[in-house]
Chain A
Amino acid sequence: MFIGKREKRKVLYWLERRLHASPLIELALHKRVPVHKHSVWYYFGGISLLFLMVQIVTGILLMVYYVPELASAHASILKINSGVEFGWFIRSLHSWGANLMIAVVFIHFFSAYFMKAYRKPRELTWLTGVVLLVLCLGFGFTGYLLPWDEVSFFATKIGLDISSKVPVIGDIIATMLRGGTSIGQSTLSRFFTIHVSVLPILLMGLLSVHLAIVQAHGMSEPSDFTKQEDEEKKYEPFFPDFFFKDILVWILAGNLLFALTMLAPWGIGPEADPFAPAPIGIKPEWYFLAMFQFLKLVPPMIGPIEGELFGILVMTIFAGILAAVPFWDTGESKLKSDLATALGVITVLFMVIFSVWGAMS
């Protein structure tokens, strides 16, 4: 059935009178994307969004069968993996999707960093992005425990023990998260609640702010692009040019996810036994590997402070300096700009080298 032009205009008019959406449509139609040799990095925010949507849908589906109870958690994942039709598929999408999402969010983070997209007036875009990255890691950490297998048990144990080393508040936070002194039902319940309700609300709220500011400022332009003469600058409209490219990239990213899910469906380790020794060769997820390897190398005591605390302190200060980059690299000083780039390169090198080292040792 076709709607005539007149009817269509009537419907649009009816909606406009009620929604007052025309300024937004206007904004969307005028949104344009700078075209330059680094344009490819613009896609990574969008890919993160795609994977986030996959996580939400598959997460809701998993909740239908998952039971957050000590005696049933592991069994319910086994059931999803082998007893429910396409259960393995949904769970693998969720697990692979989580990993890909973290990888893409890291790429998005570093591309914004190296293109210096955090500078005025985008400081808040940057900061909300940093918090969103932390939330993503929080999703990873809390979700990891839920299958209640051997590795997830010890990963949680280590993670909480690390946070308990933070002076003054560390112990309170760890005990509150753990729901007591040892990991058990309370921990599982708390992690489940955080994973499926607290973090999603925070993420959705903050993401809305992040995306709204991005729209308000338009796409960030790297300095070699802004230096060009106005006539030389090339732009393409977001609708439809960039939008269709975005869709294409989403299809490619989706296909990568499907391929990984099909070729390497996510398994599950033996059920956690809180009294069994940690299995030989245990390792955290790849995105915590660099930190893991670093903490392994720190000696037990550095002067008067415990090595662990020293390690956390060093990493926190470093992360703090990176997160605060818009406030010290404002673009007025060449030296500070180069320093920011150098710091980023060091961070990436550290993460890559220590992750590979951690994986191989």
Chain B
Amino acid sequence: MSDEEIEIIDGDKKIGRATFVKTAVGGFALLWGGMTLYPVYRYLCPNGEEDASSKIASLDIGKVSDFPAGSGKNFKFGSTPALVIHTTQGDFHAFKAVCTHLGCTVQYRKEKNKIWCACHGGAYDPDSGKNVAGPPPKPLMALKVDIVNDRVIISNA
């Protein structure tokens, strides 16, 4: 019998003392470690409560005349950066200004007539938000634009 690891009594496998102690010590160490580390893990987890002010359904961003045709403007929509574009054809389009590549904030570039991400040179179509050049894998998330009493109202699409 090597080191009493396994003792065979009446044909039954019995665990030797050394194995028992090793397993018990190991088991308790894991348990104790887990009990200590779990609170630390939870402590470090960000609490999911978002600021009430960051949850919004719609936003009045100003008068139509504040946005000349062929221009774009970045604004804050709740907790996300957003972008509104007044095209030369007179249409309004709004998107969440978060690049679908690595999350940089995009902007409208008039000379290219594209929505542009300065970080890695991604480009989107200003009418549809579709990714047209560079690394972005997906189109921008669209927001809804309504013109009510000459004011530009942005809401979740």
Docked CA distance A300–B124 (Å): 13
Judge whether A276 is part of the interface by a CB distance below 8 angstroms: yes
B134-155, CB < 8 A from A: 134-137
Interface residues of A (CB under 8 A from B): 154, 157-158, 161-162, 175-176, 178-182, 186, 274-282, 292, 295-296, 298-301, 306-308
Count of chain B residues near A, Cβ 8 A: 29
Chain A residues near B37 (CB-CB < 8 A): none
Please report the number of residue pairs spanning A and B whose Cβ atoms sit closer than 8 angstroms.
78
Residue in chain A with minimal CB distance to B99: A278
Judge whether B84 is part of the interface by a CB distance below 8 angstroms: no
Chain B residues near A292 (CB-CB < 8 A): 120
Contact B135–A307 (Cβ < 8 Å): yes
Contact B75–A275 (Cβ < 8 Å): yes
Set B46, B121, B135: member contacting A298, Cβ < 8 A: B135
Chain B residues near A295 (CB-CB < 8 A): 120, 135
Set A178, A186, A279, A300: member contacting B118, Cβ < 8 A: A279
Contact B103–A186 (Cβ < 8 Å): no
Set B79, B104, B137: member contacting A301, Cβ < 8 A: B137
Docked CA distance A180–B81 (Å): 16
Chain B residues near A182 (CB-CB < 8 A): 79-80
A–B pairs, 30, beta carbons within 8 Å: A157-B104, A158-B102, A158-B104, A176-B44, A181-B79, A186-B46, A274-B81, A274-B105, A275-B74, A275-B76, A275-B81, A276-B81, A277-B105, A277-B107, A278-B105, A278-B106, A278-B117, A278-B119, A280-B116, A280-B118, A292-B120, A296-B121, A298-B135, A299-B135, A300-B135, A300-B137, A307-B137, A308-B101, A308-B102, A308-B137
Docked CA distance A275–B97 (Å): 9
5 A-B pairs with the lowest CB-CB distances in the bound complex, closest first: A277-B107, A300-B137, A278-B118, A161-B102, A180-B46
Pick from B45, B120, B121 the residue with the most CB of A within 10 Å.
B120
* Apart from A162-B102, A278-B104, A278-B105: 12 A-B pairs, beta carbons within 8 A: A158-B102, A161-B102, A161-B103, A176-B44, A277-B74, A278-B117, A278-B118, A280-B116, A296-B121, A296-B135, A300-B136, A307-B135
Set A178, A274, A282, A307: member contacting B46, Cβ < 8 A: A178
Chain A residues near B120 (CB-CB < 8 A): 292, 295-296
Set B74, B83, B103, B136: member contacting A158, Cβ < 8 A: B103
Chain A residues near B80 (CB-CB < 8 A): 182
Residue in chain A with minimal CB distance to B105: A277
User: Contact mask B1-26 → A, CB, 8 Å, 1/0?
Assistant: 00000000000000000000000000
Chain B residues near A280 (CB-CB < 8 A): 116, 118
Chain A residues near B102 (CB-CB < 8 A): 157-158, 161-162, 308
Docked CA distance A281–B136 (Å): 17
Chain A residues near B116 (CB-CB < 8 A): 280
Docked CA distance A296–B131 (Å): 15
